[in-house]
């Protein structure tokens, strides 16, 4: 909306199945995100929200059977997961993974230098990296002690999610996908994580915020809200749609006939 760039992300008729048993989870997703836009995907459990995040970030275990996904005009689905990350897709995990014995700082520096190398930027030496880390850690109120501990090992739920936001701040992605960043957080932890995310809204970076509950969207205010049900986007609207959902429950959407509302959200959806 803010400008007429190439879409950051353009998904058309995306179908995906679970590799192991062939169960179809995504049944024709259309979505367009322009630079600077924040889109929220809401939906009941099992609607395919997390699967969408996984398929876009290249997690193994899924097969795309139909449709396309283009990232800045490139064929996203043809790229291996690490290339997607290096090109600027970041996934904040719903369940961040522990890596015992590997310090958070070392992990981050390895990651950031891999990404910088890919972008043709010089690698950061230890001193420059620590300066960057210091700056970004303040953004998400991350204590220094956590930086020296092993990646996510023994972190509380809130610390893990803050760590995800810290990684996002440091890797400076073009499109950030937040997979249920609010799950397992109390309200204070949620505020801290959300303020970190908001600090990274710069009018250029795109965001796809996946959540079950509306409350996250009180803190990260989206430009568009889409409701996912049974592998399809069944309703799209602005931030008020989230509030309406909260009031009426998902059953309200599921009872309605397939919507024609997509066209009312100009520019937000793929044609």
Per rule CB under 8 A, is residue 90 in the interface with other proteins? yes
Contact residue for other proteins among 4, 78, 97, 126 (CB under 8 A):
97
To other proteins, the closest distance from the beta carbon of 105 in angstroms equals 13
Contact 96, 161 (CB under 8 A): yes
Beta bridge partners of 9: 33, 71
Residues β-bridged to residue 91: 177
Q: Per CB under 8 A, does 59 bind other proteins?
A: yes
62 touches other proteins (CB under 8 A): no
Give the separation between CA 176 and CA 37, rounded to whole angstroms.
11
Mark 111-130 with x for binding to other proteins (rule: CB under 8 A) and - for no binding.
x--xx--x------------
If one asks whether residue 155 binds other proteins (CB under 8 A), the answer comes out as no
Report the half-sphere exposure of 223 (CA within 13 A, side-chain side).
Answer: 22
Q: What are the Cα distances from residue 254, in Å, to 67, 175, 198?
A: 24, 29, 31
Backbone angles phi, psi at 206, to 5 degrees: -90, 155
Cβ atoms within 10 Å of 139's Cβ, excluding its own? 17
Is 109 a residue that touches other proteins (CB under 8 A)?
no
Number of residues written out for the chain: 271
Site string for other proteins, 237-266 (x = CB under 8 A): ------------------------------
Chain residues in the site for other proteins (CB under 8 A): 57-61, 80-82, 84-86, 90-91, 93, 96-97, 99-102, 107, 110-111, 114-115, 118, 150, 167, 171
């Amino acid at each position: 909306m803010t400008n007429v760039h190439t879409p950051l992300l353009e998904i058309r008729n995306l179908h995906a199945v679970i590799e192991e048993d062939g169960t179809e989870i995504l049944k024709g997703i259309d979505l367009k995100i322009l630079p600077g836009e924040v889109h929220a995907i809401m939906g009941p459990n099992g609607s395919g929200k997390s699967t969408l995040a996984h398929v876009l970030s290249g997690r193994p275990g899924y097969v795309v059977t139909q449709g396309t996904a283009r990232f800045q005009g490139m064929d996203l689905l043809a790229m291996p997961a690490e290339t997607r990350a290096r090109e600027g897709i970041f996934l904040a995990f719903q369940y961040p993974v522990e890596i015992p014995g590997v310090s958070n700082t070392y992990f981050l520096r390895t990651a950031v230098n891999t990404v910088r190398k890919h972008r043709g930027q010089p690698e950061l030496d230890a001193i420059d990296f620590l300066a960057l880390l210091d700056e970004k850690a303040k953004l998400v109120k991350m204590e220094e002690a956590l930086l020296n501990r092993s990646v996510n090992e023994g972190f509380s739920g809130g610390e893990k999610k803050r760590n995800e936001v810290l990684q996002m701040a440091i890797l400076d992605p073009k499109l950030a996908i937040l997979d249920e960043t609010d799950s397992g957080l109390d309200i204070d932890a949620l505020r801290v994580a959300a303020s970190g995310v908001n600090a990274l809204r710069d009018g250029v970076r795109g965001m796809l915020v996946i959540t079950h509950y509306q409350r996250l969207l009180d803190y990260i205010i989206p430009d568009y809200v889409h409701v996912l049900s049974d592998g399809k986007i069944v309703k799209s609207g602005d931030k008020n749609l989230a509030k309406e959902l909260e009031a009426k429950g998902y059953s309200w959407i599921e009872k309605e006939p397939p919507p024609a509302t997509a066209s009312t959200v100009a520019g937000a959806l793929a044609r």
